[in-house]
C-alpha cells in the first residue's frame, strides 16, 4: 500500500479508486441461422476465387503464358539456378512450346515430335541472364528451355541460327534416352575419338544429335554451309570446328 504523510506527521492512506465490476462476456454458441450464413459466405468466397483464377488463366493462355504443370517446381529450379532473390522469378515468362510465336513454330514442327509441345520455354529478362553471350540453354531433365528475353523478342532475323531447334532437340534426345543417367553419360563421352580435346563438349553424342538437327533445319531453310560456320564463329572457339565440320559433312556433303 502506498502511503503519504499528513501535516500532523501521521501516515495518511491515499484514496484508491474502487474496482469496477467485471463485465461478463457472452459465450452463447452461434445459432443455426448464423452457422448457415457463415457457411454460405465461405462458399461464395471460394467460388469467387475460382472464378478469378479461371480468368487469370484465360488471360495468361491468350498471351501464351500458361503456367507449366508443376509450375512450382519450374519456378524453384529457375530461382536456384539463376540465383534469384525472392519474388524475382515472377518476372520470368513461361510458355509451352506449342504456344510459341509463329516464327518459332517452324523449328518446333521440324522435329516432328508432339511430345515437345509440352516443353516449357522460360523467357529470362536480360538482367537475370547468367549464360553470357550464349542466348539459350536447355534443362532437358526438366523439359525446360531458357532463352534470353532480348534474343527471344528480336524483330530482325529472330533466332537466325535456330538455337530453339537445338534446345528442343536436347529435350527430344532426353526423352529417347534409356534413362536420365544414360543421357548424362552420353554427355561425358566423345562422339568422335579422333577429334578428342580436353573436354567432351561439344564433341559428345548428345551434341552430335542436337547440332545435326539444327544444321539440317538450317539447310532446309536456305542457309549455306558457310552461313552456318559464320554464325557458329560468334559462339565457339577454333578448336571446336573440326567437330562442327564433321557434322556439316554429313548434312551438306564433303
Please give the Cα distance from 9 to 190 (Å, whole number).
106
What per-residue confidence (pLDDT) applies to 232?
98
What per-residue confidence (pLDDT) applies to 13?
43
Cβ burial, residue 168 (10 Å; 0-12/13-18/19+): buried
In a domain, 47, yes or no: no
Residues 103 and 143 in one domain: yes
Residues 94 and 127 in one domain: yes
Output the furthest CA–CA distance in the chain (Å, rounded).
125
Residues 65 and 147 in one domain: yes
Sign of CA dihedral 7, 13, 14, 17: negative
CB contact at 8 A, 209 and 169:
yes
- The total number of structural domains that make up the chain: 2
Of 154, 186, 208, the residue at which a domain comes to its end is: 154
What per-residue confidence (pLDDT) applies to 65?
47
Please give the Cα distance from 210 to 127 (Å, whole number).
28
Residues 96 and 183 in one domain: no
Residues 149 and 184 in one domain: no
Q: Which three cell numbers stand for residue 231?
A: 554464325
Domain of 68 in residue numbering reads as 55-154
Please give the Cα distance from 115 to 93 (Å, whole number).
21
Residues 125 and 85 in one domain: yes
In a domain, 78, yes or no: yes
Residues 150 and 209 in one domain: no
What per-residue confidence (pLDDT) applies to 56?
45
Cα of 147 vs its chain's centroid, Å: 10
CA torsion 190-247-167-183 (nearest 10°) is -30
What per-residue confidence (pLDDT) applies to 66?
46
Residues constituting the chain: 254
Kindly give the parts of the chain with pLDDT less than 50.
1-17, 20, 25, 56-57, 59-71
In a domain, 69, yes or no: yes
Amino acid at each position: 500500500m502506498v502511503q503519504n504523510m499528513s501535516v500532523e506527521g501521521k501516515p495518511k492512506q491515499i484514496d484508491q479508486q474502487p474496482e469496477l465490476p467485471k463485465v461478463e462476456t457472452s459465450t452463447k454458441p452461434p445459432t443455426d441461422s448464423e452457422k448457415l450464413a457463415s457457411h454460405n459466405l465461405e462458399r461464395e468466397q471460394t467460388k469467387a476465387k475460382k472464378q478469378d483464377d479461371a480468368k487469370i488463366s484465360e488471360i495468361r493462355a491468350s498471351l501464351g503464358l500458361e503456367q507449366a504443370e508443376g509450375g512450382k517446381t519450374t519456378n524453384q529450379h529457375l530461382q536456384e539456378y539463376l540465383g534469384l532473390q525472392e519474388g524475382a522469378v515472377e518476372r520470368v515468362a513461361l510458355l509451352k512450346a506449342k504456344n510459341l510465336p509463329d516464327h518459332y513454330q517452324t523449328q518446333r514442327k521440324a522435329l516432328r515430335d508432339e511430345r515437345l509441345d509440352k516443353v516449357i520455354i522460360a523467357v529470362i529478362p536480360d538482367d537475370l541472364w547468367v549464360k553470357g553471350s550464349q542466348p539459350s540453354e536447355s534443362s532437358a531433365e526438366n523439359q525446360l528451355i531458357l532463352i534470353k528475353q532480348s534474343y527471344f523478342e528480336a524483330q530482325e532475323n529472330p533466332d537466325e541460327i535456330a538455337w530453339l531447334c537445338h534446345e528442343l532437340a536436347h529435350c527430344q534426345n532426353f526423352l529417347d534416352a534409356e534413362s536420365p543417367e544414360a543421357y548424362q553419360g552420353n554427355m561425358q563421352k566423345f562422339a568422335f575419338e579422333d577429334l578428342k580435346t580436353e573436354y567432351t563438349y561439344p564433341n559428345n553424342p548428345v551434341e552430335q544429335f542436337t547440332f545435326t538437327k539444327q544444321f539440317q533445319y538450317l539447310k532446309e531453310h536456305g542457309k549455306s554451309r558457310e552461313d552456318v560456320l559464320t554464325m557458329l564463329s560468334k559462339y565457339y572457339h577454333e578448336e571446336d570446328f573440326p567437330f562442327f565440320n564433321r557434322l556439316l559433312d554429313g548434312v551438306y556433303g564433303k
